[in-house]
């Protein structure tokens, strides 16, 4: 993972927080919802805590190419570990949002027949994502041909 991915996550969190807090403050000042101010304060506190944990959360994302599958791991408290066999991969997709594109990053998504095993590896440099996509497509084709 690129260290720049922390910036992508922080900016996304900040944008979401600003939108929610703005809506709550409009509710407080315009519609006179007494609870909206307290909700806005709670959202800001939650966002500060969440953003402070973002670097650790990004560092917890790992992937490894093994002989027969791709192993993906993420999470601090609630960890997820998925092994995607190369022969089961149906689609390898690269996605780039506006912030990630500005920082030269991409997201690689693997889709299999089972919806639960869809894996997204975020924060890859574009060149690495392209190289990895090509390598995984070649591995998937050779493993499917061997079935």
* Residue 21 binned pLDDT confidence (cut-offs 50, 70, 90): very high
pTM score, whole prediction: 0.78
Q: What pLDDT score does 117 carry?
A: 66
Q: Which of 24-28, 81-85, 111-115 has the highest mean pLDDT?
A: 24-28
Q: Distance (Å, rounded) from C-alpha 126 to C-alpha 130?
A: 6
Q: What pLDDT score does 101 carry?
A: 92
As a whole number, mean pLDDT of residues 50-78 equals 90
* Residue 146 binned pLDDT confidence (cut-offs 50, 70, 90): low
Q: What pLDDT score does 67 carry?
A: 86
Q: Distance (Å, rounded) from C-alpha 101 to C-alpha 58?
A: 18
Sign of CA dihedral 99, 121, 135, 89: negative
DSSP label at residue 113: S
| Crossing angle of helices 5-29 and 36-59, rounded to 10° | 170
Burial class (CB in 10 A: 0-12, 13-18, 19+), 24: buried
Mean pLDDT of the residues in the chain: 89
Give strand pairing partners of 112.
Answer: 89
Q: What pLDDT score does 16 carry?
A: 95
* Residue 145 binned pLDDT confidence (cut-offs 50, 70, 90): low
């Amino acid at each position: 993972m690129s260290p720049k991915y922390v910036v992508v996550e922080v900016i996304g969190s900040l944008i979401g927080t600003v939108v929610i807090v703005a809506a709550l403050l409009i509710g407080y000042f315009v519609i006179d919802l007494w609870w909206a101010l307290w909700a806005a304060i709670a959202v800001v506190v939650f966002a500060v805590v969440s953003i402070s944990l973002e670097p650790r959360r990004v560092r917890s994302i790992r992937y490894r190419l093994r002989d027969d599958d791709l192993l993906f791991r993420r999470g601090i408290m609630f960890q997820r570990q998925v092994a995607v066999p190369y022969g089961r991969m149906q689609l390898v997709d690269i996605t780039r949002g506006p912030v990630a594109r500005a920082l030269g990053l991409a997201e690689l998504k693997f889709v299999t027949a089972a919806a639960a095993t869809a894996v997204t590896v975020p924060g890859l440099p574009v060149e690495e994502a392209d190289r990895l996509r090509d390598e995984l497509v070649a591995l998937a084709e050779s493993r499917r041909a061997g079935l």
